[in-house]
Amino acid sequence: MEDKMIRLSGIIHESLVNGPGIRRVFFSQGCKHKCKECFNPETHSFDGGELRNMDELIEELKSNPIISGVTFSGGDPFEQADKFSYMAQRIKALGLNIWCYTGYKFEYILNNLKDNEAWEKLINNIDVLVDGRFEITLRDESIKYRGSSNQRVIDVKSSLSGGEIITLY
Ligand code: SF4
C-alpha cells in the first residue's frame, strides 16, 4: 500500500473495556450513520482527527508485550476499510486478535462485498464484529461490549464458515 496514512480520532493504549483482555484501541475518524445521541459526535467529520502513519502505529504496538488484542472503533472503521484492512493484516501477523465496531449490519456488509474489495479484506481479517447503529431507545448499560441491545458481538470466522450468524456474549 502506497499511502500509509490513516485518519484517527484517537487511540487508547491499554483498554480493558473494548473487548477481552488488555487491548489497544484505534478510533477511526469519519462516520455517516448519525445515530441519535451518539457518544462520539466529534468523530463524524471526514476531515477531523489526525493522520497517523500505520507502520509507526504497528511498531508502537509491537513494543508493548502485554497487549493481547486490538479493537477498531469509531467513527466507523468500514469508511476507511482499505487502511484498516492493511492494519488488520499486519496485526494478525503478530498473533493478536482483532475486534471491529461498525454502524453497518453484518448482513449489509456481506451483501456488498462484491463491489467493495476493501470491505472483503477487512471482514476476512477480523475475528469479531460488533455491528449495527447505536439505538438510543434500545440503550442498555448492562450488556457487555455494546451500547444498545440491537447490536451483536459476532464471531466472524465461525459465521462465515458456518453460513449463519454466531454471536458471543
Ligand atoms: S456508528 Fe457509532 S460513531 Fe457513528 S453515529 Fe453511530 S454511534 Fe456514533
Strands annotated E in 16-160 = 23-28, 50-53, 69-73, 97-101, 128-131, 152-155
- Which residues constitute the domain of residue 14? 5-162
Ligand 1 atom closest to the CA of 31, numbered from 1: 4
Q: Distance from the CA of 46 to the center of ligand 1, in angstroms?
A: 13
Residue 80: give its domain's CATH number: 3.20.20.70
pLDDT at res. 147: 95
Q: What's the number of domains the chain is made of?
A: 1
pLDDT at res. 15: 97
pLDDT at res. 43: 98
| Ligand 1 binding pocket includes 130 (Cβ within 6 Å) | no
54-66 pLDDT, tens digit each: 999 999 999 999 9
Residue 169 pLDDT > 90: no
Q: How many residues does the structure list for the chain?
A: 169
- Looking at the domain assignment, is residue 93 inside a domain? yes
pLDDT at res. 33: 97
- Looking at the domain assignment, is residue 168 inside a domain? no
Q: Distance from the CA of 75 to the center of ligand 1, in angstroms?
A: 6
Is the pTM above the cut of 0.75?
yes
User: Residue 72's CB: how many other CB atoms inside 10 A?
Assistant: 30
C-alpha neighbours within 13 Å on the C-beta side of residue 20: 7
Q: How far apart are the first and last CA of the chain?
A: 36
- Looking at the domain assignment, is residue 41 inside a domain? yes
- Looking at the domain assignment, is residue 20 inside a domain? yes
| Ligand 1 binding pocket includes 105 (Cβ within 6 Å) | no
7-63 pLDDT, tens digit each: 999 999 999 999 999 999 999 999 999 999 999 999 999 999 999 999 999 999 999
| Ligand 1 binding pocket includes 30 (Cβ within 6 Å) | no
109-160 pLDDT, tens digit each: 999 999 899 999 999 999 999 999 999 999 999 999 999 999 999 999 999 9
Which amino acid, residue 9? S
Residue 1 pLDDT > 90: no
Nearest by Cα to 90 from 117, 36, 53, 116: 53
| Ligand 1 binding pocket includes 35 (Cβ within 6 Å) | yes
- Looking at the domain assignment, is residue 112 inside a domain? yes
71-110 pLDDT, tens digit each: 999 999 999 999 999 999 999 999 999 999 999 999 999 9
